[in-house]
Amino acid sequence: DRAELAQHNIHAIDLVVCNLYPFQATIAKPGVSLAEAVEQIDIGGVTLLRAAAKNFARVAVICDPADYAAVLSELQSGGAVSESTRRRLAMTAFAHTRDYDAAIAAYLSRQFAPATSDELPTTFDLSLQLVQPMRYGENPHQAAGLYVAPALHPGRGGDGPLGGRLIAGKPLSYNNVLDLDAAWRAASSFTETAVAIIKHLSPCGIALADSVADAFRAALASDPVSAFGGVIAANRPFDLTAAHALEDLFVEAIAAPAFHPDAAEYLRQHKPNCRLVEIPETPISQWELRSVRGGVLVQVADRGDPEDTEWRAVTRRTPTPAEMADLRVAWLACQHVRSNAIVVVRNRATVGIGGGLTSRVDAAQLAVAKAGERAKGAALASDAFFPFPDALEVAARAGVTAVIQPGGSVRDQEVIATADQLGVAMLFTGVRHFRH
């Protein structure tokens, strides 16, 4: 009651400024305990913000320091905060408390009832926050922006694209983000030093080596023509030797856990249009989401073969140690190629990739054509079983000597017999890795 307030000489509150405890920032730090996280759950602050926002007709509520300047300007120029600004601030406050509570609920649900590979939540509440408006989307006539979902990526290392930090170059485009995400997933799926070159979501080359520079050179050699205008990801810090290895290749963007200062400076000077993104080694989300008409498809992310998977030699000849090393690289690389996918590897580097084709034999023909003479003595991976022996025959004619595939076709015995006839060693994994 205003009369009672006046009687006691109490003025009505018309401005509330409140910053909540940094819960999201706390859980983003590595190694944070449950107790430390719970300590940063704000109670009173949320109540203040909601109460003030409810009374937007006469109260201005500020929960974001970015709004300080605008409110101060209105107060200095007119002595009060306008109704339109109060309404905007109220919406901001309600959205802020919603996101805050959603982050708490998502964190605690992971702590108290961690999901398993065969469990899906009955509801999937996401709060998406715009972090980067973009010039356009896939094409210039499409509006676009990058939103992040803290509930999906609690360990984001930064506020930039892919949880990283843009340290050089122009803002990333829509297509840059898509390609860098694919490149980062491919490179970071290996424990050894690895580099992936991606263009239009398709790998041009993936390679392992003792250094980033050598891995890049090997990945580039896989398909140097297609790599022009692509993006690069390395799973180790990018040093000056790696920067020099780029030579005159046109590169849209590079992602790495870190860039050595001299490498970053060299790239700023010699490739000023190349975006450099530092992405910390944070866990990849358990979930993958794809929008479809009228809904969203949710699945557990494909992180490779389950730990208890046993590869089975099904041919008379078993792979040599060198072939086995290449088969492992081919099998993991294959999981980052659009289906139908065939990957040829030699000396721990892809030499031929055939992906995104509706016929497996066509994918095999493309992969061995890209490999050329390098297919001789190479290993080949197929993301799904061979429905017929034809793709295997294409590979063997090109010189491939070892193959890895899931198996599971009704014609498996025919394919195995063909491999034995051709002297090809073949492994069955029992796990398929389609990628659409």
Q: Which long-range contacts (CB under 8 A, 24 or more apart) does 259-268 make?
A: 259/167, 263/238, 263/239, 264/167, 264/168, 266/240, 267/168, 267/243, 268/168
Phi, psi angle pair for 129, to nearest 5°: -115, 130
Contact 203, 333 (CB under 8 A): yes
d(CA 159, CA 278): 11
Catalytic one of 29, 54, 244, 270 = 54
- Tokens 């803002």 belong to 171
Contact 312, 427 (CB under 8 A): yes
d(CA 405, CA 411): 13
Is 11 one of the catalytic residues? no
Contact 404, 312 (CB under 8 A): no
d(CA 190, CA 195): 9
Our separate counts of H helices and E strands in the chain read 15, 18
- Tokens 């992969």 belong to 367
CA 188 to the chain's CA centroid: 10
Query: Pseudo-torsion of CA 65, 66, 68, 74, nearest 10°?
Result: -160
Catalytic one of 153, 170, 200, 260 = 200
How far, in Å, are 197, 248, 326, 335 from residue 224 at the CA level?
A: 10, 12, 21, 21
Is 370 one of the catalytic residues? no
Q: Tokens at residue 198, please?
A: 């991606």
d(CA 221, CA 205): 8
Q: Which long-range contacts (CB under 8 A, 24 or more apart) does 47-50 make?
A: 48/16, 48/18, 49/16, 49/18, 49/20, 49/93, 49/96, 49/97, 50/93, 50/94, 50/97
Contact 207, 224 (CB under 8 A): no
d(CA 272, CA 264): 10
Question: Which SS3 state, helix, strand or coil, does residue 300 take?
Answer: strand
Contact 381, 327 (CB under 8 A): yes
Q: Tokens at residue 250, please?
A: 């046109």
What positions carry a catalytic annotation? 54, 200
